[in-house]
Chains A and B, each alone.
Chain A
Amino acid sequence: MNLWTLVLTTIAGCYLLKLAGYLVPARVLDHPGVRRVVELVPVALLAALVVVEGIANGRHYDVNGPRLAGFAVGAFAVWRRAPFLAVVVSAALVAALLRQV
Chain B
Amino acid sequence: MTAREPSPQRAARASVVRNALGVGVAVGAYGFAFGAASVAAGLSVLQSCLLSLFAFTGGTQFAVVSVVASGGTLAAALGSGLLLASRNTLYAMRLAPLLRVRGVRRLVAALGTIDESTAMAVTQRDPALARVAFWWTFAGVFTFWNLSTLLGAAGASAFGDPSRYGLDAVIPAAFLALLASRLRDGRLERRVALAGAAIAAVLVPFTPPGVPVLAATAAVLLATTMRVPR
Contact = CB atoms under 8 A, between A and B. Distances in A.
Contacts of A61: 204-205
Interface residues of B, number: 101
Interface residues on A, range: 35 or more
Given A17-B89, A21-B92, A54 B54 contact: no
Given A5-B74, A41-B86, A43-B182, A88 B174 contact: yes
A73 B61 CA distance: 24
A97 B175 CA distance: 22
Nearest to B204: A56
Contacts of A22: 92-93, 95-96, 101, 106, 109-110, 113
B196 A45 contact: yes
A79 B184 CA distance: 10
A46 to B, nearest CB: 4
* Top-10 shortest CB links A-B: A21-B92, A70-B169, A74-B173, A95-B166, A44-B196, A48-B216, A48-B200, A92-B166, A95-B169, A47-B193
Interface of B: 26-27, 29-30, 32-33, 42-44, 47, 50-51, 54-57, 59-64, 66, 68, 70-71, 73-74, 77-78, 80-93, 95-97, 101, 106-107, 109-111, 113, 163-180, 182-183, 188-189, 192-197, 199-201, 204-209, 212-213, 215-220, 223-224
